[in-house]
Amino acid sequence: MGAGGEAETEDPLANPARTLAFLSSGSPEAEEARARLVEKYGDAPPEEADCIVALGGDGLMLRVLHRYLGDGKPIYGMNRGSVGFLMNQYRETSLRKRITAAKRSIIHPLLMQAVDAKGSEFRAHAINDVSLLRQTSQIAKIRIFVDGKEAMAELVADGVLVSTPAGSTAYNLSAHGPILPLNAPLMAVTPISAFRPRRWHGALLPDSATIRLEVLEADKRPVSVVADHDEFRDIVAVDVSMDQSTRHVLLHDPGHSLEERILKEQFGY
């Protein structure tokens, strides 16, 4: 019993290797691995398991994170796909020991709220980034506000994105945005092929900020918004903020944590 006579509740992360749920990307390689692991370690329903083991690449990891958004269940990924930045090396032996010894990385998603030209409203979360992209050959024109104040009257570009630290090594890096340490309380705002201002390479904002992106001349220069895998078209305004109330727990083997991988990316190896 705890103080005041209340019953103590067990920490769901105290023993994440006790019961495991195995999820596969569906590829032959991932399905074969899942069958062997289930035979060796058993398989609990994901909702009841102490830990979810994801077998695939980074695409599967993002889908699993979205599927179990907000429940705080630890997720341990093993690479059975083509890209595995978020995944651990695949090994079938001593899996429970690896999960117990794994380092925890806590990440928060972005919350995106958008309005299209017809007034319809959309809402989605993004683990990596929220990106605005031109839909046609016409270059996009976007006005940027930070916490209600105009920060840029007109960005002329193929688009612009807002990235989390965890997503800063994904599309953000390809667009020449900065790599953010995992524990940095920041968001990266990065232009995509900017035409004007020519020398603007983006901004770093506190993760407490609210970013508003307004599409100028939206009828002539239509723009879509993408929050990870969710796309909405003919958008006129987008609000992006960090959802601090929602957290994900990723598990990585010692020496290969997400934080350490991001640090390595910063030094180019």
3-state secondary structure 176-227: CCCCCCCCCCEEEEEEEEEEECCCCCCEEEECCCEEEEEEECCCCCCEEEEE
Does the annotation place 228 within a ligand binding site? Answer: no
Assess contact for 258 and 84: CB atoms under 8 A: no
Nearest to 236 by CA among 249, 217, 255, 252: 217
Does the annotation place 88 within a ligand binding site? Answer: no
Does the annotation place 173 within a ligand binding site? Answer: yes
Does the annotation place 221 within a ligand binding site? Answer: no
Does the annotation place 174 within a ligand binding site? Answer: yes
Residue of 58, 207, 228, 234 marked catalytic: 58
Does the annotation place 129 within a ligand binding site? Answer: yes
Does the annotation place 230 within a ligand binding site? Answer: no
253 SS3 class:
coil
Does the annotation place 63 within a ligand binding site? Answer: yes
58 an active-site residue?
A: yes
Question: Which helix (H) or strand (E) covers residue 34, if one does?
Answer: helix 28-41
Does the annotation place 171 within a ligand binding site? Answer: yes
Spell out the residues 6+ positions from residue 132 whose beta carbon is closer than 8 angstroms to its own: 140, 142, 159, 160, 161, 213, 215, 223, 224, 225, 235, 238
Does the annotation place 246 within a ligand binding site? Answer: no
Nearest to 13 by CA among 108, 104, 92: 104
Does the annotation place 58 within a ligand binding site? Answer: yes
Give the HSE-up count for residue 233: Cα atoms under 13 Å, Cβ half-sphere.
Answer: 3
Assess contact for 105 and 259: CB atoms under 8 A: yes
- In one-letter notation, the amino acid at residue 268 is G
Active site residues: 58
Binding-site residue set: 58-59, 63, 128-129, 158, 166, 169-174
Binding-site residue set for NAD(+): 58-59, 63, 128-129, 158, 166, 169-174
